[in-house]
Amino acid sequence: MNILVVQHVEADPVGILGRYLEVKGAWLHTWLVPQRTTPPQGHYDGLIVLGGPMNACDDEAFPHLRRVVALIRQFHQQGKPVLGICLGAQLIARAFGSRVYQNHQPELGFTPLFPIGEAPEPWVQTYPAGMPMMQWHFDTFDLPAGGQLLLTNNVCPNQAFRLDHNIYGLQFHPEITPAIVMNWMAFKTEWIETHYPHLFEQLQDQLRRYWVPSTQFTETLANAWYDQVVAASQAVAMFPSG
């Protein structure tokens, strides 16, 4: 299966999520936006949209965002799975007419998440209530019309959602490795220095405690999402449009 990965900045690659997908058999084709203005051409069975420091609606400074929104809609129309992470989830919300805006409180570091109700996704069914996942965001979004909330917390309620049968948005970061997280410290602002003066030490401690359990979740997520990509590809082959 060929997966198109939209990587907005060099500091936020597909990480361990990509490794698990490759083990399953995925071929990842990364559109690294700083290096090229358009995505690589080809046939793709699924789409992953990663995170980044930009606002999801800042088309003037980041004109590629319009193209990403169009890609999300295109894959949705074709019945192909889409997975959006952090900024990617916000771009999914934007693509389907929902508002993206600053959250009342940022989330920086590992925060606990809680599953909501019953969902068919194995990565929701097996999620330990309160298990922390890595966060690095200031913005949030309204759920798109028809979206089903899957994971939540008190700081930022919309943590994971499903739209129709093939679109998933995650506000948190399942793809991280310790090296990726430590690299993000280079992007800390004066505001972060003031309000989170011990963030570096906190992240080091949180990674020691929570990274391994988070990777176990990521493996479950990757396996389930890849299986969905395979099933969608087989359905398209069996019932081609036109």
Active site residues: 86, 173, 175
> Across the strands, what pairs with 84?
49, 169
> Cα separation of 51 and 61, whole Å?
16
| CB of 112 closer than 8 Å to CB of 153 | yes
DSSP run (H or E) holding 27: strand 27-32
Give the position of tokens 């906190």: 202
| CB of 181 closer than 8 Å to CB of 203 | yes
> Cα separation of 166 and 186, whole Å?
35
> Cα separation of 68 and 107, whole Å?
24
Alpha helix (H) ranges present in the chain?
15-24, 64-77, 87-95, 122-125, 178-184, 190-195, 199-238
DSSP run (H or E) holding 143: none
Q: Largest alpha-carbon pair distance within the chain? A: 58
Q: Which of 230, 217, 92, 88 is nearest to 164 (CA)?
A: 92
> Cα separation of 231 and 170, whole Å?
21
